Structure 1
Amino acid sequence: MSICVFNVQLHGKKKLGVLSGLIFVILSILAYVKYVVPGAFTFILGLIACFSVILLVANNTENSTIFGKVMGFLSKYTMPIFLMHTIMAATLRTILLRIDVTNGIVHIVLGLIISFGGPILAAYIMERTTWLEFFLYPNKVLHSRSRIK
Structure 2
Amino acid sequence: MSICAFNVRLKGRKVHGTICGLLFMILSVAAYKAEISGGVISFAMGLLACVAVILMAAGFEGGLGRGVDFLAKYTMPIFLMHTLFAAPLRSILMKIGIENAVIHVVLGLGISFAGPIIAAWIMKKTKWLEFFLYPNKILMKARSL
TM-score normalised over the length of structure 1: 0.84
**Larger RCO (CA under 8 A, 6+ residues apart):** 2
Letter in 1 for 2:60: N
Residue 59 of structure 1 corresponds to which residue in structure 2?
A: 59
Distance 1:68 1:143, change over 3 A: same
Q: Which moved more, 1:126-135 or 1:26-35?
A: 26-35
User: Is it true that 1:94 corresponds to 2:91 in the alignment?
Assistant: yes
Please state if 1:113 is matched with 2:113. Answer: no
Deviation (angstroms), 1:56: 1.7
**Cα distance 1:53–1:105, how it changes in 2: closer, same or farther (>3 A)?**
same
Structure 1 regions of 5+ residues with no counterpart? none
Per-residue deviation, residues 88-139 of structure 1 (Å, max 9, x unmatched): 2222111111111110110111111111111111111111111111111000
- 1:125 counterpart = 2:122: yes
Q: Could you say if the C-alpha distance between residues 100 and 83 of structure 1 is closer, same or farther in structure 2, counting changes exceeding 3 Å?
A: same
Which residue of the other structure, out of 78, 100, 103, is the alignment partner of 1:81?
Answer: 78
CA spacing shift, 1:118–1:37, aligned 2, 3 Å = farther
Structure 2's unaligned 5+ residue stretches are none
Between 1:116-125 and 1:41-50, the stretch displaced more is 41-50
Question: Percent of counterpart pairs with the same letter?
Answer: 54
What TM-score does the superposition give when structure 2 sets the normalisation length?
Answer: 0.86
